Structure 1
Amino acid sequence: MNIEAVEWAKKVLAEKGIRQVLCAFTDVRGYLLTFSIPAREFIEGSAFEDGIGFDGSSVRGFKSIEQSDMVWKPDPSTLRVIPWAEGIHASAVMFGDVYEAGGRDQADCDPRGFVAKRLKKELGEEGRSAIFGPEIEFFVFDGIDARSLAWDLFVTPNGGEGDSWGAPRVIPKSRELEELPIIRPKEGYFRAPPEDRTLEYRNELVYYLEKMGIIVEYHHHEVATAGQVEFDFKPFGLVDVGDAFYIYKFVAKNVARMHGLLATFMPKPLYLDNASGMHVHQSLWEGEPFRGKNLFSDPDDEFGLSQLARYYIGGLLEHAPALTALNAPTVNSYKRLVPGFEAPIFIAWSPRNRSALVRVPAYFKKPSAIRVEYRGADPSQNPYLGIAAQLAAGLNGIRKKIDPGDPVMKDIYKLTDREKRELGIGELPTSLKEALEALASDEVIQRILGSHIYDAFMELKTEEWNQYSLYVTPWEFMKYFDI
């Protein structure tokens, strides 16, 4: 353990009067888990050196009951003071890694320590680094009653054509739908106040995020109605971007609660409106990011892309079906990955073109800005797994020199099936079941997960799919009860 980081963390805890430390890690599915330890155990005790024991059998995807004893060991460099927690509630949050009983061996069930850290180390041994900047979208609602159904008369199938009844669904409560002026479905992008009622919430979220070391580049109302927003923060390395993702969600949910709101990272909460994605911008560097050389940049190329970057794109496309299982890991994710809502369902790459799965942003051509954007992810994922898998796919493309083919310069949504076949454009899985089948046949992505996490993920997600398949929905009653 880094002694300097330990001493720094102890100093912060003491000087800020921190009383409790939220010790953070994630389960295999991607849920943030925490337990609280009095700060004195870190300042005066041996918590930094020895770690904290816990029951791994109670964590989904970790251990069976006869192997339940595990140890959480803190990463002192991740300590962040929670800005709104004061007085007797003064708290900080700190990420850590999970070890087997005894605290010596890294646990193969830990997404952060076993998957993300291991891949980062392997890349570093090659003299390279990678950075990632996710665009994380989510919804803010006034409330939701999942026990109540309402008939959606505001939007109907086929843009108002056909059946006039719409469909029954749970409608989250939103001021943007209940008060005038309203934001119509698919017309929320960059809307200003008073139509956008999220501005004060977003400003406060930026304030707290930056207090916790997450520097926001910009934020805005997103395309959907009912409080859909997006925040983009400055890029981080592979492990740190996962930490930042969870701090982002933690702050977003807690600040929403302060305002009497609910923040949800469910990909598709609204019927017939846009869903929440998480486009991940990424680049490889020789040495340290922004200090060394951007390996994706070639000023002589028409798109500014190096051959290495093209091979990386080839890897992302080659492994896209399996990547979808980890980056769109819920049943609900596949109600986002459908035509007509800007989601990237076609396996192709292109500069500027947002209908492609992999896009090369063309805002600026300076070498440090050249990057690749993977658009097939959403915020329901575990980023230590999902983003690591993206990196592993890209690196495999480099190793195998996978040619991504020519970029598709047309709107793929408007191409005919024949044109897509001629261009060799495939489609992403259309359900969680299909994505799991793709992951089951992809040895490269399985290898980066390790056998334990792969088996646990497949078991958990297959169970999830089976539960969904067995459930009789209100839609089925409406559609078939009078058959």
Structure 2
Amino acid sequence: MSTSFAERFGLWSAQQKAEAAEIVGRIDAGEIDVLRFAWPDQHGVLRGKTLVAEAARGALARGINLTTTLLAKDTSHRSVFPVFSAGGGFALEGLQGGADFVVLPDPSTFRMLPWAPRTAWVLCDAYMKDGQPCPFATRRILQRALTQLGAQGLEFVAGLEVEFHVFKLDQEAMALADAGQPGTPPSVSLLTHGHQYLTELRYDRVDGLMELLRRELQALSMPLHSLEIEFGPSQFELVFGPTAGLAPADTMILLRSAIKQICQRHGYHATFMCRPRIPSVMSSGWHLHQSLRHAEGGDNAFMPAAGSADPLSPLGMQYLAGLQAHACGAAALASPTLNGYRRYRPFSLAPDRAIWAQDNRGAMLRVLGAPGDSASRIENRVGEPTANPYLYLASQIFSGLHGIAQGMDPGPSADAPYETPARQLPRSLDAALDALQADAVLVEGLGQAFVDYYCHIKRAEIARFNLEVTEWEHREYFDMF
């Protein structure tokens, strides 16, 4: 008797089996026409296939096949490994020749997409054909970090503050000459002029967009807390309440895709690019609020005891020290694009050095905690909203665990964050990749093979960028010399 992929390799828990049965029941009841099987790739971009209901019913436990060449793509969707050489260019068995790997749904992530009629969605994990986790599957890396944390009786909790831009879509660039890798971006115009941070009038002018996003995101059961007008032109921020384990990263993955799809359907263009090339632009960041809680009882493990002189518990201060110690190595995971490094500049509310401070938005690590405050936490302000959330969160856990294991001390609060002597954060993606490869703790946590793979992709993107002549170069030198 044949068994499904999930059964054969024991990949689902009892709860996941029950959740899968509920999905099958909804298919059989005629609620679903199509089901999207979505897999987060190395960049945190969702890829996958859409199956009609009848086919999706059997594919839930069987999984679906995707080509291993997807693992070879940079952000232009170019393959940067020799995929038809031995090992597929990865030097790993089973990845050669554009062979298939399997993506298997995690039934707990099932959603009905409110903007797409009778369309369901489920997030998948990647496996090799022998049932082993795909070595380059980033969701699995975060799962591994959470397991290490769980071995100490602790759980990871995070809340998200995500900045992004939304523009009026004036014209899609769809002429024949606009095709390419990447193609020509669309023409857009502003929804707000900017520089009226948190003003009610600015919010009211875009209430239609804000109400659209609120309605659709809450229909996805996302823990939305607030919608805000940010400082820059056409810039916005959404804040999400704390969730635990994989949930913060899964929320971020779905959030980015959802906002882009919702906006596109209503004549807008949304982008999570850190610093779009528009006049008077303000960079977008992703501020990650994080803490640990005790698995037994659920108490905040960062909350200091009464009378403590520190804003966090001893364990919290050690975790904080680990984040600080590995900040340079983790930078390539928190800010993985060339564009993201244009954000780091002094006095810009973006950090430029590896320091912490109590409730100071100029510091990389803003600490919010006090005795009796069950929301005691650390806000890491280094990330950009394009980051793969599984890698970003995993880097935090691996760093924090090292700080706890070594009993690290983060030193005093840096109350003048742009003047306090400290290690400077990497100023370019290239420097950040060097720092990652030199960080033994992060290399061990992520895996040497994964770090080599990730850096290869990112250096291929840098090499393509360096082949281009920028507008700045042309303006600077073409007439003068």
TM-score (norm 2): 0.85
Matched ranges for 1:65-464 at <5 A = 65-66=96-97, 68-86=99-117, 90-102=118-130, 104-113=131-140, 115-143=141-169, 173-176=188-191, 182-183=193-194, 187-194=195-202, 197-225=205-233, 227-269=234-276, 270=278, 272-287=280-295, 291-300=297-306, 301-361=308-368, 366-410=372-416, 412-413=417-418, 415=419, 420-421=420-421, 425-464=422-461
Q: Deviation of residue 321 (structure 1)? A: 0.6
The whole-number CA distance in structure 2 between the counterparts of 1:346 and 1:144 is 39
Q: Deviations over 1:93-147 (max 9, x none)?
A: 1011111124x1111111112x011121222232211111121110001237899
Could you tell me which amino acid in structure 1 is paired with residue 393 of structure 2? I
Q: Deviation of residue 302 (structure 1)? A: 3.9
Could you tell me which amino acid in structure 1 is paired with residue 45 of structure 2? Y
Could you tell me which amino acid in structure 2 is paired with residue 72 of structure 1? V
Contact persistence 2:232–2:280 (CA under 8 A): no
Select the residue among 41, 48, 56 that pairs with 1:34. 48
The whole-number CA distance in structure 2 between the counterparts of 1:406 and 1:171 is 48
Q: 1:463 to 1:10 in 2, by over 3 A?
A: same
TM-score (norm 1): 0.85
Q: Deviation of residue 67 (structure 1)? A: 6.0
The whole-number CA distance in structure 1 between the counterparts of 2:109 and 2:474 is 50
Q: How many residues align?
A: 434
The whole-number CA distance in structure 1 between the counterparts of 2:427 and 2:378 is 24
Q: Deviation of residue 258 (structure 1)? A: 2.3
Could you tell me which amino acid in structure 1 is paired with residue 167 of structure 2? F
Could you tell me which amino acid in structure 2 is paired with residue 325 of structure 1? A
For the residue of structure 2 that corresponds to 1:126, the secondary structure is: coil
Contact persistence 1:392–1:448 (CA under 8 A): yes
Q: Residue 22 in 1 paired to residue 39 in 2?
A: no
Q: 1:366 to 1:32 in 2, by over 3 A?
A: farther
Contact persistence 2:311–2:358 (CA under 8 A): no
- The CA RMSD over aligned residues, in Å, is 2.3
The whole-number CA distance in structure 2 between the counterparts of 1:349 and 1:267 is 23
Q: Deviation of residue 452 (structure 1)? A: 3.1
Contact persistence 1:346–1:355 (CA under 8 A): no
Q: Deviations over 1:224-246 (max 9, x none)?
A: 12x11111112222322221112
Contact persistence 2:35–2:50 (CA under 8 A): yes
Unmatched segments (≥5 aa) in structure 1 = 148-169
Contact persistence 1:274–1:341 (CA under 8 A): no
For the residue of structure 1 that corresponds to 2:212, the secondary structure is: helix
Q: 1:14 to 1:244 in 2, by over 3 A?
A: farther
Unmatched segments (≥5 aa) in structure 2 = 1-11, 74-80, 89-95, 174-184
Contact persistence 2:169–2:186 (CA under 8 A): no
Select the residue among 51, 54, 67 that pairs with 1:55. 67
Match of 1:164 in 2: none
Q: Deviation of residue 33 (structure 1)? A: 1.1
